[in-house]
Amino acid sequence: MRSFARTFVGNLVLFTVFGVAGPILLICGALGVTDAGEGERGVPLAFLLVGLGFTLAILVSAFLFTRRHHPVITDRDRVSTAHQWDDDTLAMWTPRARIPIQGGRLATAEVREAALVSYGDDWEATYQSYGDLDPDEPKPRIRLRLRVQPDGGEPFESTHTWRVPSLCLAAVTAGRLVAVVHPDIPEEFGIDWPRSALLSGARTCRLLGLDGRHVELTGRPDLLLELWRITGTGTGTAGRITMDGDTIDLRRVEPAVATQLQNLVERAAGGWPAPEPVPDGQARWVVDHLPAEKGAFGGVDRRWARHGGHLVCGRFLELRGTKTFQYAGPVLETVLRVFPADGTDPIDLGKKLTVPMAYLALLHRTKQLVVRVGPDRRSYEIDWARTTLAVGASPAVVIGPDGRRFDLTGRFDALLAIMRLLVANRVSVSGNVLDLRDRRPSAVAAQVMDVVRARPDRNSHLDFPVP
């Protein structure tokens, strides 16, 4: 975990190089004031003051830049729990939908195949800001073969290359999109990406009925489509329905609309089974080609581990788009919940973070994170290499002492337990394969095998096999 001080010093050197005129003026002015006579100090004094101003500006700019972009989260980033989110909630604010076809009708579109065409040809790793929350430049271009099912019409297939907003990538991996079909020409359609992200289950959606019952619409494409047809609600505000969290309260909706939506409450409460996952998931797996750190069991800083540094589970509660992007992914306003290892109450923290696209593509089935905790237990940092492995974005393999291979891909709890064992014993494993026949991890081989042989994690599964 790189310290704030080291990051600040590095940025200070960089800012000083770009603003070198300030220190030069400061030095020249100081020397001039020292050497000048009584009536000749006017110009050197001006140089001194200008140089001092530039130098202070460098210090302030470097500090603010470091504070804004440093990935370490501290207790100063704590947020109130006014929303009282449940642990299984994610409220996500995607860019406002660009209506693809005025007056079009909503329909579902199954993703049969997906292939990354291009991304980041002219990009660098630096932060880039735009005047729009939804610019085309940072969007990956993905070729999709879709089967569109118009309401009351004949299904048809279409193959086209689309620019997919990074916050909506999970819709492609999940395999269900929301199409807006032309009322007169069914073969002409567009994709409503924000609604697609909600349809995929990446964002939580609930209804609070007129009778006070909470019902879950997450993962129910049939009910979500009917909800939108009644209200026109996607993400954000539409009409008089506001979805600024994860729940629509029917008691705050116009009575005529609330009556129609109460029918959805009754149907959802009836326990209808959710639709089966869309088949051929491997054909949609573009995660390997999206930017992210390579998955790994992780390196261990011995000093950090020796002084009490450890790993815990975290989870995103909120994601909100900004106008800033980096090559790895968008810079998002996030709220994450950290679950301390000692079982005390979880901690909610808010921070602007760059979230890798490969992780965003899996939001429909996981919001979990591997978080590094500092020895002071007051600083936290998302470990993206370990997270990539733990959430199933890359394969995870353990080779037993007898040479047998065990595939742990997608078993978050088991992988986190193994990572904790490695940290406690200060064993670094830079890749996604843990070979217990090696000398270094042999001390924890028995404990790791106990974890491997345990039952699979509850609710831990892959929608499809990882290539």
Per-residue pLDDT of the chain (467 residues; tens, 9 = 90+): 455 555 555 555 554 544 555 556 555 655 554 555 454 555 555 655 655 666 666 566 655 665 555 567 888 888 886 556 788 889 888 887 676 677 788 889 999 999 999 998 778 778 899 988 889 989 999 999 999 988 778 899 999 999 999 999 999 999 999 999 988 887 889 999 999 999 998 988 889 899 888 898 888 888 888 888 887 654 443 334 656 667 888 888 888 888 888 988 988 888 766 666 677 788 999 999 999 999 999 999 999 999 999 999 999 999 999 999 999 999 999 999 999 999 899 999 999 999 999 999 999 989 999 999 999 888 999 999 999 999 999 999 999 999 999 999 999 999 999 999 999 999 999 999 999 999 888 889 999 999 999 877 654 544 444 44
Output the pLDDT for position 76: 84
Q: 61 and 167 share a domain?
A: no
Q: 317 and 337 share a domain?
A: yes
Look at residue 324 and tell me if it is in a domain: yes
Q: 133 and 172 share a domain?
A: yes
Burial status of residue 11 (CB atoms within 10 A of its CB: 0-12, 13-18, 19 or more): buried
Residue 444 structural domain: 290-453
Residues in the chain: 467
CA distance 336 to 383: 13
Output the pLDDT for position 63: 59
Output the pLDDT for position 368: 97
Look at residue 342 and tell me if it is in a domain: yes
Output the pLDDT for position 421: 96
Q: 423 and 300 share a domain?
A: yes
Look at residue 84 and tell me if it is in a domain: no
Residue at a domain's end among 266, 283, 300: 283
CA distance 147 to 157: 4
Output the pLDDT for position 70: 55
Q: 254 and 160 share a domain?
A: yes
Look at residue 464 and tell me if it is in a domain: no
In this structure, what token pair is assigned to residue 28?
Answer: 């020249």
In this structure, what token pair is assigned to residue 190?
Answer: 């567009």
Residue at a domain's end among 232, 265, 283: 283
Output the pLDDT for position 307: 92
Residue at a domain's end among 235, 255, 283: 283
Q: 243 and 375 share a domain?
A: no
Output the pLDDT for position 274: 63
CA distance 163 to 75: 38
Q: What are phi and psi of 106, to 5 degrees?
A: -75, 140
Q: 231 and 349 share a domain?
A: no
Look at residue 59 and tell me if it is in a domain: yes
Q: 166 and 272 share a domain?
A: yes
Nearest to 394 by CA among 465, 323, 312, 463: 465
Output the pLDDT for position 270: 80
Q: 296 and 233 share a domain?
A: no
Q: 117 and 211 share a domain?
A: yes
Look at residue 85 and tell me if it is in a domain: no
Contact between 368 and 315 under an 8 Å Cβ cutoff? The reply is: yes
In this structure, what token pair is assigned to residue 146?
Answer: 């879709």
Identify the residue whose tokens are 């929301």: 178
Q: 329 and 436 share a domain?
A: yes
Nearest to 170 by CA among 204, 136, 147: 204
Look at residue 195 and tell me if it is in a domain: yes
Look at residue 465 and tell me if it is in a domain: no
Domains: count for the chain: 3
Output the pLDDT for position 34: 57
Q: 366 and 447 share a domain?
A: yes
